[in-house]
Structure formats: C-alpha cells, structure tokens
C-alpha cells in the first residue's frame, strides 16, 4: 500500500508542477488542483496508513489517528474555495486581457 | 476580560459577516460599522500592549480544551505589538478608503474586516495549522481586495499574486504534514519540545520541513528569489489596499520569528541554524535589489513597493544576526517601515489625484495643484522614509547600526543599509524636484482631499511621535526581544504540566 501511495503522490505532484509551468491559466488551475490533491493525500498519510481502522477512539482496538483527517478536511475546504476563486479570476483576466497566459500577454505574439 | 483575547479575531469576523449579509444597508452605515469595528480593534490593541507588557503570557483555550490538543490563542509582547500596529494601520487605511475609494467595488468593508481578522488570528495563534488557516483567511481577503476597483492591471497582477500564494499554501501543508508525521503534534510549544528531543535519524527530514517553511514565509515576506510578484501586485492595487498590504510582508517576518526562534530553536543542535545562514546573504541581496529597484522605478507606487522590499531586506539582515540587541532594533524598524510604506502608498494616490495627467508616473511631466502643501508633506514623508532625523527611521537605523557593530559581519550590513538609504534619498529627491520644482500653469485645479491629506499627515506625525517616544518604545522592544529569545517561558505557559525545562536556547 505504501508503495502505491507514494507512487500516486509522486505522479500527482509531477503532473501538477508540469501543468503549473505551462503558464496558461487553464493548465495552471489544473496543475494547482492536482498539487492540492497530492498535498491532501500527503497530509492524510502523515497519520500513518492503516487498513480497516476507523478514526474514532474507542470503537476498535487500533483506531486511526483522527487529527490528519480533520486537517485534510480543513485543507480540502480551503482548497476548494481557493480553486473557485482562481477559476473566476482566470475568467475575468481572460475577458479583460483577451488572453489566457498568466502574464496577460501572449509571448508568441509579435509585440509591436 | 476572560474572553478579551479572542475579540481581536471575533470582532472583525462578526462585523465582516454582518456587512456581507446586510449589503443593502446604506453605504454610510457600512462605513460607520467598519470604522467602529476598527476603532474597537485599536482599543483592543492598546489593551493587548498593556496586558502583555508585564511579560506574562495570556492564553485563551477555545472550547476549554487544553493544549496541545485544543486550539489555543496566546498573547505575548510581540503578538501585542503586531496587533496594535495592524489596528492602527487598518484604521488609517479605512479612513482613507472612506474618502470614496471604497465605493469603487463591492463589499470593500466586509473584505477589509476579514483581512483584519486573518491578520489578528495569525498573530495570536499558538498552533501551526491554525497559522495556516489564518494565512488563508487573510490571503483570500487580500486577493479580493487587490482586485477592488477592477481594471486590466489588477487582473494581471492578481493572477500572479494568487497563483504564487496558492503554491505557497501547498508547500505550507507539505511542511505541516512532514512535521506532524515526525512528531505527532502541531502545537508550537509541543512541537518545539518534540523537535528538540527528536532522534538524530529524523534530523534531515526536520531540516527539510523547516526549509520548506522558510520558503513559504519567504514568499509572504518577499525575500529575494521569491519577491517578483510584489512590485506589480502592490503598485496595481488601490491606495488604501496597498497601504494595508504594508503589514502583509511583516506577517511573513512575524511567522519566521515565531517558528524559527520557538519551534526550531530549542535543543543542543537547533534546526534553525541553517535558516539564519540562508537568510543573511538572501537578505543582503534583497536589500541591494530594493535599492536598485527604488532608483529604477517608473512610478511612485512602484518606488514604494521597492521601499517595502528594502524594509524586508533590512529586517531579515538584522534579524539573522539573532542577538537581543539586533532583534529589538529590527522590531523598531518594523514598526517604522510599516507605517512609512503605508503613508507613501496613500501619498502616491493623493499626489496622483492632483496631477493633470500621468497619475503617479515619473515619465510624465504634469502640472499639479496645491503644490506648497503637498510638496511640504512629501518632503516630510520622504525624510521619514529615507531615515533622516528627526523621524523614527533615523532612530531605528542608528539603533540597527549600533546593535550590529559588535558582529563580525557588520560591514556588509552597514554598507548595504546605508547604500540603500542613499539610493532611496536620490530617488525621492528626484521625484520631488521633478514634481514640485518644475511647475507648469495649472488649468483646472482640483479640490484637495483634506481628509486624505489629514490621514497621511497623521501617519507622518505618528512616525515623528515614535521617534520622540523612542526611549519607552525601545524599552518595550528590548523586553520583547528577550522574551523571544527565551522560548522556555512560552512553552511553560502553553504546557503547564511539562516538567521544568532544561533545554538551552542557542541562536
């Protein structure tokens, strides 16, 4: 399980960083989403990975650590809010600047 | 007064939420509500300074859960100083915004209150995850405030600002996950004990987590490789928002002080040694870049943004020497530079309104109304910002120079600090002579915004007062530095059950 988990995190982070560096608002938002997924999974794993253990103390013998789950929940909520904000901002910027590059101008165009 | 400690967060939060719900209220009422809440924060800031001034820590256990499991707010001298500074700055910015800028977009007053709530929360929390949450609160408010008023330049600057801060948030969470995985706690005091007692095998991972945190706070504080978002974002936003943002870089400074002196500063071989080593050259380079940027700016707002960068460089260069004297001097400079950066952002707007064209750009020569009055104010503000007597900049810089002279590396700091001040002096005198000494005939003089002028004049006068009251302020700051360098008391206050600490602190 650990190997699969680590590989997933690695792939998500790599793709996220690659997409971030594409510097178009749509890919940047996708990249940020992938990155925040990777971060949330990483936070979740910081309480150690155990199978079949609920995060409620007293329900079973070996309960999973509940704190990372609370942290992840908060991080997911914040992440969603932020992603929604960037989407709206990217739309606004695309309309105002007539361009989807994060710099607001297309580097391939001739600047005269 | 048992619940007074949570009021700096609750008061703006409730006001902001109310303003958001009651957005149909007449605009004057919204303004009054915002101003009343901010005045309340000033009173709370004054209370905090008195309450923490004696040196004992005040704690607030949310829901009465004890540390390290519950959410704990903790007030010490540094936190009280930052609270009071934020409240005063917020009041000045809100008064200026109430001259008409707040009408240019929706929900200005609600967002402003949320920003203050986030800032106050970040200064009060005793838990790293809550620090993250309050960072996000203040950031999302700042994203919306940055765009207040709209326009192409703001959208463009906003994209960079938002994206770099979101990446910063992801890094912050990675660092927190690593720390939690290694130690099983995120309470700062508990974490400090766990980090100091960590097995040597964990040291590389702890060092990695501390460095990621340094990058995160470095983004907020705008230290050299991470500062390129700042000039554009600050110069694009509206004047009161940019002035309020003067405290935002200081949040990064605050977080670095808190985390690296408390969490990573305990034990035989503290983790933070590497951080100070990295900060020193980066801070000097930031200082140099700020000086060059000030000279090369094309508008007064960009110039002010580079003044902010100079102040960050000065702060970190002084802080990374980590002695009580340099720490106290740096805190004095922090108060001075925050106020002056805000005054300059507001002044740029005030002057820009009076120019016939070009707003605050240097390349345009335009006649300006009310030159004697505005020129006089600009002269005083420029002297204060550069650090000439009799203003607080002079006192703080003299103190920094005096405090660092015993250090073997003092020559670097002296050289760059004085060179940056000289470059600033050249840049502002060039601006002044261009704007006020080359008058053209003014065709249509515009009415002077007397309220705005009064706010800027009050900020400059406060700077003068800070200089006049230098001695008591210095006394308070010296005690603050002592408190920061002795985190055992913080830990003992936060975790009363822990046996007496035998841990030494080394910078």
How does pLDDT run along chain A (112 residues), one tens digit per residue?
889 999 999 999 999 999 999 888 999 999 999 999 999 999 999 888 888 777 777 777 778 888 888 899 999 999 999 999 999 999 998 888 888 888 877 777 655 5
The total of other beta-carbon atoms located within 10 Å of residue B445's CB is: 12
Shortest CA gap B358–chain A (Å): 22
In this prediction, residues B67-89 reach a mean pLDDT of: 91
Chain A partners within 8 Å of B156 (Cβ): 93, 97, 103-104
In this prediction, residues B244-258 reach a mean pLDDT of: 93
The C-alpha angle B36, B37, B39, rounded to 5 degrees, equals 65
In this prediction, residues B182-208 reach a mean pLDDT of: 90
Band the pLDDT of B442: cuts 50, 70, 90. confident
State residue B502's pLDDT score: 47
Share of chain B above pLDDT 90, in %: 61
- In the structure encoding, which two tokens stand for residue B241, read together? 């928002």
Q: Give the residue from chain B lying closest to A92, CA to CA.
A: B155
Shortest CA gap B209–chain A (Å): 13
CB neighbour list of residue B178: distance below 8 Å, 6 or more residues apart: A46, B205, B208, B209, B212
Option in A75, A85, A97 nearest B155 (CB): A97
Contact of A7 with A14, CB cutoff 8 Å: no
Contact of B389 with B380, CB cutoff 8 Å: no
The C-alpha angle B405, B408, B414, rounded to 5 degrees, equals 45
State residue A109's pLDDT score: 67
Option in B156, B169, B173 nearest A93 (CB): B156
Q: b/e string for B134-172 if b means 16 or more Cβ within 10 A? A: bbbbbbbbbbbbbbbbeeeebbbbbbbbbbbbbbbbbbb
In this prediction, residues B47-66 reach a mean pLDDT of: 88
Q: Give the residue from chain A lying closest to B173, CA to CA.
A: A39
State residue B505's pLDDT score: 44
Contact of B74 with B493, CB cutoff 8 Å: yes
The C-alpha angle B37, B43, B48, rounded to 5 degrees, equals 120
- Model pTM score: 0.92
- Mutation choice for A interface testing from B107, B155, B171 by most A CBs within 10 A: B155
Nearest by Cα to B124 from B230, B44, B241: B44
ipTM over 0.95: no
Band the pLDDT of B504: cuts 50, 70, 90. very low
Helix (H), strand (E), coil (C) string for chain A: CHHHHHHHHHHHHHHHHHHHCCCEHHHHHHHHHHHHHHHHHHHHHCCCCCCCCCCCECCECCCCCHHHHHHHHHHHHHHHHHHHHHHHHHHHHHHHHCCCECCCCCCCCCCC
For CA atoms B394, B396, B399, B405, the dihedral sign is negative
Q: How far is CA A59 from the centre of its chain?
A: 32
Option in A47, A65, A89 nearest B162 (CB): A89
- B63 in reach of chain A (CB within 8 A): no
Chain B partners within 8 Å of A47 (Cβ): 180-181
Chain B partners within 8 Å of A32 (Cβ): 163, 166-167, 170
Label residue B215 exposed, middle or buried (CB < 10 Å: 0-12, 13-18, 19+): middle
Cis amide linkage into residue B390, ω under 30° from 0: yes
CA dist B331 and B392 (Å) reads 12
CB contact under 8 A, B169 and A82: yes
In the predicted model, is pLDDT for residue B347 greater than 90? yes
pLDDT 10s digits, B136-149: 999 999 999 999 88
Chain A partners within 8 Å of B161 (Cβ): none
- Mutation choice for A interface testing from B134, B177, B191 by most A CBs within 10 A: B177
B59: β partners = B74
In the predicted model, is pLDDT for residue B470 greater than 60? yes
CB contact under 8 A, B159 and A93: yes
- Mutation choice for B interface testing from A34, A46, A48 by most B CBs within 10 A: A46
| Residue scoring higher pLDDT (B236 or B499) | B236
State residue B449's pLDDT score: 85
pLDDT 10s digits, B24-45: 888 899 999 999 999 999 999 9
In this prediction, residues B188-213 reach a mean pLDDT of: 91
In this prediction, residues B292-297 reach a mean pLDDT of: 92
CA dist B391 and B394 (Å) reads 6
Band the pLDDT of B507: cuts 50, 70, 90. very low
Band the pLDDT of B506: cuts 50, 70, 90. very low
* B121 phi and psi angles, rounded to 5 deg: -60, -45
B 124-183 near A (Cβ less than 8 A): 129, 133, 136, 140, 143-144, 147, 151-152, 155-156, 158-160, 162-163, 166-167, 169-170, 173-174, 176-178, 180-181
In this prediction, residues B280-284 reach a mean pLDDT of: 94
CA dist B348 and B303 (Å) reads 10
- Mutation choice for B interface testing from A5, A14, A32 by most B CBs within 10 A: A32
Share of chain B above pLDDT 70, in %: 97
In the predicted model, is pLDDT for residue B53 greater than 90? no
Option in B129, B156, B166 nearest A104 (CB): B156
In the predicted model, is pLDDT for residue B173 greater than 50? yes
State residue B378's pLDDT score: 92
Q: How far is CA A31 from the centre of its chain?
A: 7
Option in A42, A65, A89 nearest B177 (CB): A42
The residues on A that touch B, with CB distances below 8 Å, are 20, 25, 28, 32, 35-36, 39-40, 42-43, 45-48, 65, 67-68, 71, 74-75, 78, 81-82, 85-86, 89-90, 92-93, 96-97, 102-104
State residue A110's pLDDT score: 58
In this prediction, residues B449-462 reach a mean pLDDT of: 92
- The continuous run of DSSP H or E covering B61 comes out as strand B58-61
CB contact under 8 A, A86 and B163: yes
CB contact under 8 A, B177 and A35: no
- Mutation choice for A interface testing from B148, B156, B157, B160 by most A CBs within 10 A: B156
B127: β partners = B187
pLDDT 10s digits, B363-413: 877 788 788 888 899 999 999 999 888 889 899 999 999 998 888 888 999
Band the pLDDT of B182: cuts 50, 70, 90. very high
In this prediction, residues B476-504 reach a mean pLDDT of: 81
Contact of B123 with A65, CB cutoff 8 Å: no
Lowest average pLDDT, out of A61-65, B115-119, B126-130, B348-352, goes to: A61-65
> What separation in angstroms does the CA of A81 have from each of B155, B227, B411?
18, 25, 48
Q: How far is CA B265 from the centre of its chain?
A: 23
State residue B468's pLDDT score: 92
Q: How many residues does chain B have?
A: 507
The total of other beta-carbon atoms located within 10 Å of residue B68's CB is: 21
CA dist B65 and B42 (Å) reads 29
- The continuous run of DSSP H or E covering B331 comes out as helix B324-354
* A110 phi and psi angles, rounded to 5 deg: -75, 125
How many inter-chain contacts (A to B, CB under 8 Å) are there?
89
Option in B160, B169, B177 nearest A43 (CB): B177
CA dist B82 and B363 (Å) reads 37
CA dist B366 and A63 (Å) reads 72
Q: Beta B72-75 vs B58-61: how paired, if at all?
A: antiparallel
Option in B129, B133, B160 nearest A102 (CB): B160
The C-alpha R_g of chain B, in whole angstroms, comes to 22
């Amino acid at each position: 399980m650990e190997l699969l988990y680590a590989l997933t995190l690695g792939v998500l982070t790599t793709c996220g960083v690659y997409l971030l560096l594409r510097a178009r608002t749509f890919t940047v938002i996708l990249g940020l989403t992938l990155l925040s997924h990777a971060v949330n999974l990483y936070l979740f794993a910081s309480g150690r990975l155990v199978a079949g253990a609920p995060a409620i103390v007293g329900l079973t013998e070996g309960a999973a650590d509940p704190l990372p789950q609370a942290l992840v929940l908060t991080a997911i909520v914040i992440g969603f809010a932020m992603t929604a904000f960037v989407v709206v901002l990217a739309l606004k910027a695309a309309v105002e600047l007539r361009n989807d590059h994060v710099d607001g101008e297309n580097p391939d165009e001739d600047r005269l | 007064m048992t619940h007074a400690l949570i009021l700096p967060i609750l008061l703006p939060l409730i006001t902001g939420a109310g303003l958001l719900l009651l957005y149909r209220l007449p605009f004057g009422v919204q303004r009054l509500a915002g101003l009343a809440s901010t005045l309340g924060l000033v009173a709370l800031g004054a209370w905090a300074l008195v309450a923490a001034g004696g040196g004992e820590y005040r704690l607030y256990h949310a829901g009465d859960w004890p540390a390290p499991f519950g959410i704990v707010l903790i007030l010490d001298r540094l936190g009280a100083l930052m609270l009071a500074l934020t409240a005063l700055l917020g009041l000045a910015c809100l008064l200026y915004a109430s001259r008409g800028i707040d009408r240019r977009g929706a929900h200005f007053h609600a967002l402003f209150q949320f920003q203050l709530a986030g800032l106050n929360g970040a200064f009060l929390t005793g838990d790293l995850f809550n620090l993250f949450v309050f960072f996000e609160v203040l950031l999302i408010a700042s994203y919306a405030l940055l765009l207040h008023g709209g326009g192409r330049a703001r959208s463009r600057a906003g994209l960079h600002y938002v994206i770099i801060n979101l990446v910063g948030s992801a890094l912050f969470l990675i660092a927190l996950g690593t720390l939690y995985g290694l130690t099983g706690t995120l309470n700062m005091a508990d974490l400090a004990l766990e980090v100091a007692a960590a097995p040597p095998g964990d040291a590389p991972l702890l060092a990695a987590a501390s460095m990621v945190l340094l990058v995160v706070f470095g983004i907020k504080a705008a230290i050299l490789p991470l500062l390129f978002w700042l000039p554009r974002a600050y110069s694009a936003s509206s004047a009161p928002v940019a002035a309020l943002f003067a405290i935002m870089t200081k949040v990064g400074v605050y977080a670095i002080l808190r985390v690296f002196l408390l969490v990573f500063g305990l034990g035989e071989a503290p983790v933070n040694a590497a951080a100070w080593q990295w900060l020193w050259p980066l801070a000097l380079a930031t200082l140099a870049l700020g000086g060059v940027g000030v000279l090369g700016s094309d508008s007064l707002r960009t110039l002010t943004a580079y003044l902010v960068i100079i102040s960050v460089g000065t702060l970190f260069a002084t802080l990374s020497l980590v002695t009580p004297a340099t720490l106290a001097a740096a805190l004095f400079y922090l108060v001075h530079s925050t106020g002056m950066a805000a005054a300059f952002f507001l002044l740029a707007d005030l002057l820009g309104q009076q120019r016939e064209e070009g707003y605050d750009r240097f390349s345009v020569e335009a006649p300006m109304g009310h030159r004697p009055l505005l020129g006089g104010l600009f002269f005083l503000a420029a002297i204060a910002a550069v650090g000439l007597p009799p203003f607080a900049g002079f006192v703080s810089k003299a103190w920094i120079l005096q405090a660092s002279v015993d250090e073997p590396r003092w020559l670097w700091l002296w050289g760059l600090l004085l060179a940056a001040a000289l470059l600033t002096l050249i840049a502002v005198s060039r601006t002044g002579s261009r704007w006020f000494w080359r008058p053209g005939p003014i065709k249509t003089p515009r009415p002077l915004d007397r309220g705005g002028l009064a706010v800027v004049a009050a900020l400059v006068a406060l700077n003068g007062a800070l200089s006049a009251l230098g001695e008591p302020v210095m006394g308070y700051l010296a005690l603050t530095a002592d408190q920061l360098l002795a985190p055992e008391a913080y830990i003992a206050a936060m975790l009363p059950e822990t046996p007496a600490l035998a841990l030494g602190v080394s910078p």
